[in-house]
């Protein structure tokens, strides 16, 4: 089966037949196999550490990412904010790429919960320059000291763009020289691994802690995992509880997550091929797309009157996200097959 012809994995829940939902890769619904695994999951109270399915998931992720331990949480925002809390103390700065999800889309929580503020570094195509990261480190008694460096791979707002391994290692070298922890917002790190042609472990290697979303391209209905050292995760456990992230019999969710981890990564390349085709079709139809930024499963197009355009497409069954007055985002995922993509392209060309 080539990437081009890989069929979509069918959900058990009927999806309106003419609807093609490209708003996000979070919109997938569980497959029959996932529903079955969820129904049959052996569960226990995870706040007591007694849910065997959650424990298996955490161990599986720790091994896949080459970390000592992992902790299951309801969302990627929670894994990121717990990581920020466990690495920093109040009044510090977090160095992150401009447009980072931890600041742009997590509602000021780094300030509200951890009492820290972001210091942005420029990131063309989502890739910060290690020298600029070094220059952003604050040490003087007149400034708020740096507590953490955080990277995002793939970088959502920049278009699902990929930070190469050598850049991540160069930034780890900066972190080591400065004695700082390095976190990865790896909500879509599996897409980065697929694009780079490397393992999840290789993407995770330069980082002290890593957030991975099971509910994005990997296709689980709910859940994210924070991986890192055992010592760090003891603190993470406390912050998760503070945020209300102790989920009791969460094995029903972890069961779906295990299937997402087993089957998800191998499917991502097909999403990337389809995203490319969608981007090229948009360009042919006269829309403005930076093709250099189309590296994984996300496509941003600059379209004046974005909201009107998106509403018009929605009437024809094609859903996309208007994220700004002139910005539209399309995201490919495993429940969009070639036939659905072709229908979407017909709407876009019209």
Ligand X SMILES: *Cc1c(COP(=O)(O)O)cnc(C)c1O
Closest contact distance (angstroms) between CB of 20 and ligand X is: 21
Question: By C-beta, is 24 or 281 nearer to ligand X?
Answer: 24
Cβ proximity to ligand X, 80 vs 88, nearer residue = 80
Which segment (2-10, 56-64, 83-91, 181-189) binds ligand X by CB under 6 A?
A: 181-189
Number of shown-chain residues binding ligand X (CB under 6 A): 13
Say whether residue 152 binds ligand X (CB under 6 A). Answer: yes
Least spacing, CB of residue 18 vs ligand X, in Å? 27
Of 101 and 237, the one with the shorter C-beta distance to ligand X is: 101
Task: Please tell me whether residue 58 binds ligand X under the rule CB under 6 A.
Answer: no
Q: Are 191 and 154 a contacting pair, CB within 8 Å?
A: yes
- Copy the structure tokens of residue 36: 């079955």
Quick one: which of 156, 281, 295, 297 contacts ligand X (CB under 6 A)?
156
- Cβ proximity to ligand X, 93 vs 106, nearer residue: 106
- Binding segment toward ligand X, per CB under 6 A, in 1-9, 49-57, 76-84, 190-198: 76-84
Name which of 53 and 80 has its Cβ closer to ligand X.
Answer: 80
77 lies in the binding site for ligand X (CB under 6 A): yes
Q: Is 187 in the site for ligand X (CB under 6 A)?
A: yes
- Nearest distance in Å: CB 180, ligand X: 20
- Judged by CB under 6 A, does residue 295 bind ligand X? no
* Residue from 67, 87, 101, 309 in contact with ligand X (CB under 6 A): 101
Question: Which pairs from 118-125 meet CB under 8 Å and 24+ separation?
Answer: 118/93, 118/94, 119/93, 119/94, 119/95, 119/146, 120/96, 121/95, 121/96, 121/97, 122/97, 122/98, 123/97, 123/98, 123/99, 123/155, 123/158, 125/155, 125/158, 125/159, 125/161, 125/292, 125/293
Out of 46, 93, 185, 271, point to the residue binding ligand X (CB under 6 A).
185
**Which residues lie closer than 8 Å to 139 by C-beta, 6 or more apart?**
145, 146
Segment interacting with ligand X, rule: CB under 6 A, options 108-116, 182-190, 201-209, 329-337? 182-190
- Out of 75, 150, 161, 249, the residue judged to bind ligand X by CB under 6 A: 75
CB-based contact 73:61 (threshold 8 Å): no
303, two tokens: 């379209």
Residue at shortest CB range from ligand X:
76
CB of 4 to ligand X, least distance (A): 26
Interaction between residue 76 and ligand X (CB under 6 A): yes
224 binds ligand X (CB under 6 A): yes
Summarize as ranges the residues that interact with ligand X (CB under 6 A): 75-77, 80, 101, 152, 156, 185, 187-188, 213, 216, 224
């Amino acid at each position: 089966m080539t990437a081009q012809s890989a069929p979509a994995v069918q959900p058990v829940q009927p999806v309106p037949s003419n609807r093609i939902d490209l708003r996000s890769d979070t919109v997938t619904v569980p497959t029959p196999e996932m529903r079955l695994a969820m129904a049959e999951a052996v569960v226990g109270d995870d706040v007591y550490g007694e849910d065997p399915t959650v424990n298996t998931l955490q161990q599986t992720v720790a091994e896949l990412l080459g970390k000592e331990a992992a902790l299951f949480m309801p969302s990627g925002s929670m894994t990121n904010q717990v990581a920020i809390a466990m690495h920093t103390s109040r009044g510090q700065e977090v160095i992150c790429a401009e447009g980072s999800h931890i600041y742009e889309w997590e509602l000021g929580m780094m300030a509200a919960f951890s009492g820290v503020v972001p210091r942005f570094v420029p990131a063309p195509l989502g890739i910060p320059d290690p020298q600029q990261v070094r220059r952003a480190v604050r040490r003087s008694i007149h400034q708020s000291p740096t507590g953490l460096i955080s990277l995002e791979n793939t970088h959502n707002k920049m278009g699902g763009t990929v930070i190469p391994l050598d850049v991540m290692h160069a930034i780890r070298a900066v972190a080591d020289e400065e004695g700082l922890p390095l976190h990865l917002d790896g909500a879509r790190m599996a897409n980065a691994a697929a694009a780079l042609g490397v393992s999840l472990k290789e993407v995770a290697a330069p980082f002290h802690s890593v957030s991975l979303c099971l509910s994005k391209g990997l296709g689980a209905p709910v859940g994210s995992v924070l991986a890192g050292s055992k010592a760090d995760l003891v603190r993470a456990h406390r912050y998760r509880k503070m945020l209300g992230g102790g989920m009791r019999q969460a094995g029903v969710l972890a069961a779906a997550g295990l299937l997402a981890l087993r089957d998800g990564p191998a499917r991502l390349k097909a999403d990337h091929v389809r995203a490319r085709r969608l981007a090229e079709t948009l360009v042919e139809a006269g829309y403005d797309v930076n093709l250099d930024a189309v590296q994984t499963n996300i496509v941003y197009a600059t379209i004046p009157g974005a909201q009107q355009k998106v509403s018009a497409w929605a009437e024809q069954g094609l859903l996309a996200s208007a994220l700004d007055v002139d910005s539209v985002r399309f995201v490919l995922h495993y429940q969009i097959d070639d036939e659905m993509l072709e229908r979407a392209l017909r709407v876009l060309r019209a």
